[in-house]
Amino acid sequence: MGRSLILRRIAAFLVDYLVIIGYALAVLGITLTVGPPALGPVSGQFVGFATLTLPVFLYFFLTERGPRRATLGKRVMHLRVEAAAEGTRGNILLRNVLKLLPWEVAHAGVHWVRHFGDEAPPTWVWVLLVAPQLIMLTYLIGMAASGGARAPYDRLAGTSIVRSP
């Protein structure tokens, strides 16, 4: 069952990622049509958060706290999120904040690398780029160690992934 759950989670992630890529391409199309604004790293981070991270977060949060407790990918793969305290939004909220935090930190790193241009970015910028990769690796190892039921962010949030009928 563990290997099957891991493979189902990976497949569900790929389906969800197709949804995210579709949305990101739509945002890119709009940006290319109106012209990309000249933004510094802080304002670029804010715009990126508002136009990409927040909608992606809402996709995960609203679908996982909904009646089916599943994103489109999880529904296709017959999975759902189970919270330790059913009926509370806090578990699902924390799960998705922790899951997407490395993604947002990496975005910050990219904005700052672009800001420094041809200059060598300071060490803290490299930390913004490398730390999320290490955290994601930890998430994957933790998920595999639990047989697919719980990534570290699931453990911290009191959630798990289970098969749905």
Total count of domains within the chain: 1
pLDDT at 1 over 60: no
DSSP secondary structure letters along 29-58 = HHHHHH------HHHHHHHHIIIIIHHHHH
Q: Provide the residue type at 120 as one letter.
A: A
pLDDT at 44 over 90: no
**pLDDT tens profile 122-161:** 999 999 999 999 999 999 999 999 999 999 999 999 999 9
**pLDDT tens profile 57-114:** 999 999 999 999 999 999 999 999 998 876 578 999 999 999 999 999 999 999 999 8
The pLDDT value given to residue 86: 62
Q: Confidence class of residue 39 from pLDDT cuts 50, 70 and 90?
A: confident
Q: Provide the residue type at 27 as one letter.
A: V
- The H or E element that residue 161 is part of is strand 159-163
User: pTM of the entire structure?
Assistant: 0.89
The pLDDT value given to residue 41: 87
Q: Which domain covers residue 66, as residue numbers?
A: 2-163
| Tokens 């719980």, residue located | 150
Residue with more model confidence, 84 or 51: 51
The pLDDT value given to residue 2: 67
Residue with more model confidence, 36 or 142: 142
The pLDDT value given to residue 35: 78
Average pLDDT, the chain: 93
